[in-house]
Amino acid sequence: MRLAAALLALLLGACCSSLPKLSPKHVAFVAPAAASPEVTESRAVWHDAARNRDVPVTIYAPAGALSRLPVVVFSHGIGEDRDSYAYLGRALAQQGFLTVHVTHAGTDRAVLKRGYRFLYRAVKEKANWVARPLDVSFVLDELEKRGDADVEHAAIVGHSAGAFTAFALAGMRTATGETMVDPRIKVAVPISMPRLDGVVAPGGYDAITIPVLNLTGTCDTSLIYRTFPKHRRIPFESTHAQRQYLVTLEGVNHDMFSAREDLHHPLFAAIVASFLRAWMFEDAHARAWFDDTGSGEAMGVRVSVERK
C-alpha cells in the first residue's frame, strides 16, 4: 500500500507544469480582512418535490448580519459532500457572504464509501452531471423564501466536477446544444475544471457573459478524468468572452483544494473571496490585482494571472 502511494505521488509530481512566462505583476495581493470574524453554521435537508430528490446543505453565515446577504453556492467534487471545503465556507462567510455548500447525491461521499468502482460508474452517468446544476438552482429557489438571502446577487463556486456545475450555471453550452444557465448567478469561480472531451460545444464558453475566475495549480492533475494541468486552461483559452480570468498557483495539486487541512487553504480562500468582492461588492482594489496580469507572489506562493 505504501509502495502504491509512493508511486502515485511520483507520477503526480512528474505531471506538474511550469507557470506561464509573463511579465511581473505590479499590484501586490492583499488578503481581504474579515468583516465578521464570527460565523454561524447550520444544516438542513431540502426536498425538491419536482424531482423527488433530497438536497442536503450546510449554510455558513456571518454572525449578527442585519441585512440580506449576497449568496455563494458551493458545488463539491466527485466523492465529496456538503461538509467538504468547510474552510472556504467559513472564510467567505467572514467576508459577508451567505455561503451554502450542497451535497450532490449520486456523486458524493456516500458513493465513494461503496468503493471506487461505484464512483467511477457514477462519473459515467449523464444524469448525475445534469442533477448538479439543477440542485443549485433548487437551492436558490429555497433561499428565496428566506429573509437573509439576496438571491438575485448570487455566485457559484465549484471544484473539479463542481467546476462543471459552475460553468453550466454560468451559461456553458454543451455539445447537444443544451444550456442550464441560471440568470441569478452573477459571478462564477470554477476550480480545476476537468477534461470533458465532447461535452462542451465548440465555442460553448462564449455564451458566458458574467465574470469568471478559473483557478488551478501547476500540479493540478486528476487521473480519474485523465486531466493534466494543460487541460485546466481549456475553458480560458477557448473563450472569446470578456471578464474571463485564469489564476495558476505554483506547486498546487488537485487534492489540496479539497483536503481537510492544507497550508494553502488561506490562500485559496483569499483569492476566491477577493474575486467575489471585486465583482459583487465593487471592490476596486481587489479587482485591480486580477486586472494586473503577470507573474508575482500571493501569500508566499508564486502565481500567474491572465485575463481576457
d(Cα 54, Cα 43) in Å, to the nearest integer? 13
Global pTM value:
0.94
CA dist 20 → 12, 224, 231, 303 (Å)? 19, 25, 14, 9
218 neighbors 229 (Cβ within 8 angstroms)? yes
Residue in the structure block whose three cell numbers are 473571496:
273
DSSP reduced 3-state for 142: helix
Looking at residue 11, its pLDDT comes to 53
Position 276 scores a pLDDT of: 98
Q: Which three cell numbers stand for residue 123?
A: 462519473
- Per-residue pLDDT, 10: 43
For residue range 269-288, list pLDDT tens digits in order. 999 999 999 999 999 999 99
Calculate the CA 176 to chain-centre distance: 24
In this prediction, the residues of the chain whose per-residue pLDDT falls under 70 are: 1-14
Do residues 100 and 49 lie in contact, with contact meaning Cβ atoms separated by under 8 Å?
A: no
pLDDT digits (tens, 9 = 90+) for 60-75: 999 988 889 999 999 9
> What single letter denotes the amino acid at residue 197?
D
Which residue in this structure is represented by grid cell 485591480?
Answer: 288
- Cell, residue 8: 502515485
Give how far Cα 72 sits from Cα of 1, 59, 156, 168, Å.
39, 10, 6, 16
Question: Could you give the CA distance from residue 34 to residue 39 in angstroms, rounded to a whole number?
Answer: 11
pLDDT value for 14 = 61
